[in-house]
Amino acid sequence: MFVLFVSVLLLSIHHGQCTIQATANLQFDGTSTLIGTLQFVQNDANSSVIITGTLYSLNASTTHVCLIK
């Protein structure tokens, strides 16, 4: 099971707009082993949140499932 930890929350203001950015580190439950990161960006209060990320050490011959609640 993956546990999502939000490690950094950055707030920057640019030309009167508020861009919110956050980075989450992904770890196996009960361990400190980093298995990936997710970046969340919202350009202003009316825009969608864009989620990008990287997962590490996945086996290409195995099926993987990621559940975000």
Q: pTM, whole model, 2 decimals?
A: 0.61
CA nearest to 37, candidates 53, 61, 13: 53
Pair 55, 68: CB distance under 8 Å: no
**Each residue of 19-59: pLDDT tens digit?**
889 998 888 778 888 888 999 999 888 889 999 999 888 88
| Distance separating alpha carbons of residues 33 and 27, to the nearest angstrom | 6
Which residue in this structure is represented by tokens 């990320």?
53
pLDDT at 41 (0 to 100): 93
pLDDT at 17 (0 to 100): 64
